[in-house]
Amino acid sequence: MKHNIEASPDARRTQYFQVFLMGVSAFIMNTTEFVPVALLSDIAQDFSITTAETGWMLTLYAWIVAAMSLPLMLLTSRFERKSLLLGLFAVFIASHV
């Protein structure tokens, strides 16, 4: 049985577009995670707390994310990955709107 190893130009273009979208998505998600660090003093002023207290607030958030990553991964292990990713992006976009 002979397999066609070369993808059609349309398929290759679709693959490049999908990789580009994943890169843009990763950039947006990482930027969203790191922006609060740059705004510590502004966040502290808005909440009427010290910058150090704001830093602890963000640190606590990071610890919760780290602690919940493995349990959430195990809970979602039976979901189809593409649907899960699209659903998470929908929640992410809705939370930012």
Q: Decide if 4 is inside a domain.
A: no
Q: How far apart are CA 76 and CA 88, in angstroms?
A: 11
Residue ranges making up the domain that contains 68: 9-96
Q: Decide if 2 is inside a domain.
A: no
Q: Residue 55 in contact with residue 40, Cβ under 8 Å?
A: yes
Number of independent structural domains in the chain:
1
3-class SS of residue 60: helix
Q: Residue 58 in contact with residue 40, Cβ under 8 Å?
A: yes
Q: Decide if 3 is inside a domain.
A: no
pLDDT tens, position by position, for the chain (97 residues)? 555 566 688 888 999 998 998 898 889 888 888 888 888 999 999 999 999 999 999 899 889 989 999 999 999 999 999 899 889 889 988 988 8
Q: Decide if 69 is inside a domain.
A: yes
pLDDT of residue 9: 82
Q: Decide if 70 is inside a domain.
A: yes
Q: Residue 77 in contact with residue 84, Cβ under 8 Å?
A: no
Beta strands in 13-87 (DSSP E): none
Q: How far apart are CA 45 and CA 53, in angstroms?
A: 11
